[in-house]
Amino acid sequence: MLMKKIFTLIGVALMAISSNAQTLINYPTSKDGITLKTTDTDQICYGTTKINTNTNTVDGIKFGKTFKYAEAEEYYYATLSTEGGFKAGDVITITGVYNNAEEKNSAIKFYSDPAGEPIWTTGNFINGRTAEEDPVAQTFTLTADAATLYFGRQGNTGTFVLVLTVTRGGGSGEGGGGGDTGLEETYSALSETNGLGAAYAAVVDANNIATNVVNGNSIVKFGTANVEVEAVGSADPADKPEGGQDITIGAQISAEEHTYELVSINSTKPIKWEVGNRGDISYYYIKGTGTPAVSMVAEEVYTEGEPTGKYRVKVTAFDPTVGGEPASGLYYKFTTKVDGALKVGIWANKGNRTTFLVDGETKKVSDYIVEGYLEGETDTEGKLKWLTNDEIVAIHDAAGTATYVIGNGKNFWGNAIIDAKAGKTYWLFQGNSQIGFQGYTFVPGAKKEDITKIESIQTKTNNVWNADAPMYNLSGQKVDKSYKGIVIQNGRKFFNK
């Protein structure tokens, strides 16, 4: 007999987190309505085998097996229900941990139909840590209505969901919707554990080589209610084949420099979309191929002043004093429908390279602020520490690092944040290198300083914990010690029981 082990979480607690927002699901603050269902019994589930404690005594919703859906297999998953169902624009927030050795990993994937494709898969959870050691909250905005949501484990070790909320934003009255302003929108680039996100996975083969290349570009499109994104990976010229010509040229465009229109690149390195990770901080990102350039032309090769009839590709890189927009290479193009703050998670490859967010209207670099991890900047335990924009700017200035190079000119994992305007487009790319893309958060109506204020709280002095320091929830609201859930105090996130 096919055995189905199912959780049902019915949201009954409603809590305003903005002027019109409602919390539809609120675990662990409320366990009311949580049930464990099997094929022949329903029972209230408090402290049972599925709401229990992991090896580090962290309470959570346990998934002992992977989400499965097949006629001949046992499968485990949970369901989320709310009166009237879920709406496009509802936001899921989840944190979790898993138990076992470093070679094992786990995450959670969500479905609107358990027999269909997942609508979102989180990045890997933290390995075997307690809630006080800062599990990262991940969020996703529904893009379509769903009567019920289903979720379960993706990975190869026991998984514990520590916090799970579903919120509905205001802006158009009760119920919200996909176009509500005032609702935070988040897109995770990694929606498959240890693999590519769904949008990327749809255009690559088993070796992560792009299968949708047209005119030397692989374009991946995705987004949320108020943000449209195009990820563009481009072909770089391969080593010239023996005796061959790897480019096709057109009319001469500069007699003095002997340059010609570049019609096509005939022999190229493959365009790839792959996953990278900084393991000790569980920082996953997508990385593509292609060297960003404002223009690419064919340049005739001369020997001792005489033309050889052979040609090579001449690349013009982006010059921030001149401006422009990428014509090739790896870049991301964001188009925002309303004003708001756009926070993009990036990995700055070869950290001594320049990082640009270019305004599509002016073709000049937009002012951005950053926050995150810098290579070599560690705490007293030798772990990378999260830095505010002010701290990164101070490190940058002290090191004498060049303009548009982040921090100390080494690798960077974190956020670049701009004030985005309605109907405008912004290009994200890196000079003469490839940038890693983790995802983005967009907050309509906010300014870039607004969405960094929680991370910028610094009340920890000489590594001494101040128990009386202000405490904030994840919405930036000041709370007292009776508040239950994820809070920020002394610049750290932890779970307050």
Q: What is the mean pLDDT of each run of 10 residues along the chain (497 residues)?
A: 34 31 74 46 37 62 73 65 82 81 78 83 75 67 83 83 75 29 69 70 92 90 90 81 71 87 81 90 89 87 86 86 89 93 91 90 92 91 88 89 90 94 94 90 83 46 52 64 71 63
- Separation CA 116–CA 258 (nearest Å): 56
Q: How would you write 386-412 as a 3-class SS string?
A: CECHHHHHHHHHHHCCCCCCCCCCCCE
Cβ partners under 8 Å of residue 303, min gap 6: none
Reading across the β-sheet that carries 42-44, which strands appear in turn? Answer: 42-44, 34-37, 4-10, 75-81, 149-155, 106-111, 120-121
- Are both 259 and 328 inside the same structural domain? yes
| 85 and 110 part of one domain | yes
The pLDDT score that the predictor gives to residue 60 is 78
- Global pTM value: 0.58
> Does residue 112 fall inside a structural domain?
yes
Q: How far apart are CA 192 and CA 198, in angstroms?
A: 7
Residue 223, in any domain of the structure? yes
The answer on 429 and 404 residing in a single domain is yes
Taking the CA atoms of 212, 192, 113 and 138 in sequence, report the sign of the dihedral they define. negative
**Residue 197 resides in a domain:** no
How many Å apart are CA 428 and CA 424, to the nearest integer? 13
296, 329 contact by CB (below 8 A)? no
Q: Among 183, 198, 222, where does a domain finish?
A: 183
**Do 51 and 24 belong together in one domain?**
yes
Alpha carbon 358 to its chain's center: 20
CB 286 within 8 A of CB 189: yes
**Is the CB of residue 193 less than 8 Å from the CB of residue 154?**
yes
Beta strand segments in 235-385, E:
247-254, 259-265, 273-278, 283-288, 295-303, 306-316, 331-336, 340-348, 355-359, 369-374
Residues 133 and 224 in one domain: no
Kindly state whether residue 98 falls inside one of the protein's structural domains.
yes
Same domain? For 266 and 400 the reply is: yes
Residue 172 inside a domain? The answer is yes
Nearest to 332 by CA among 286, 296, 295, 297: 286
Of 484, 342, 360, nearest in space to 418 by CA: 342
Per the CB < 8 A criterion, the answer to whether 76 and 153 are in contact is yes
What CATH number is associated with residue 138?
2.60.120
In this structure, the answer to whether residues 269 and 161 fall within a common structural domain is no
pLDDT score for 343: 93
Does 313 share its domain with 397?
Answer: yes
* Residue 279 sits in the same domain as residue 401: yes
Question: In 169-266, which ranges are E strands?
Answer: 185-188, 217-224, 227-234, 247-254, 259-265
Instruction: Tell which residue, 188, 167, 171, 168, has the closest CA to residue 179.
Output: 171
Examine residue 149 and state whether it is found in any structural domain, yes or no. Answer: yes
- What tokens were used for 155? 């990975």
Structure tokens at 111: 């479905």
| 320 assigned to some structural domain | yes
CA torsion through residues 54, 10, 494, 109, sign: positive
Judge contact between 105 and 77, C-beta under 8 A: no
Cis check: omega of the bond before 307, within 30 degrees of 0: no
- C-alpha–C-alpha distance, residues 346 and 323, integer Å: 22
Helix (H) or strand (E) holding 380: none
The whole domain housing 248 covers 207-452
152 and 284 housed in the same domain:
no
State the pLDDT at residue 427: 96
Note whether 420 and 472 are same-domain residues. Answer: no
Q: How many CB atoms lie within 10 A of CB 231?
A: 23
User: Residue 159 in contact with residue 98, Cβ under 8 Å?
Assistant: yes
Same domain, 108 and 39: yes
Q: What is the token pair recorded at 406?
A: 């982040």
Q: How many domains would you assign to the chain?
A: 3
Query: Given the structure tokens 């840590």, which residue do they identify?
Result: 129
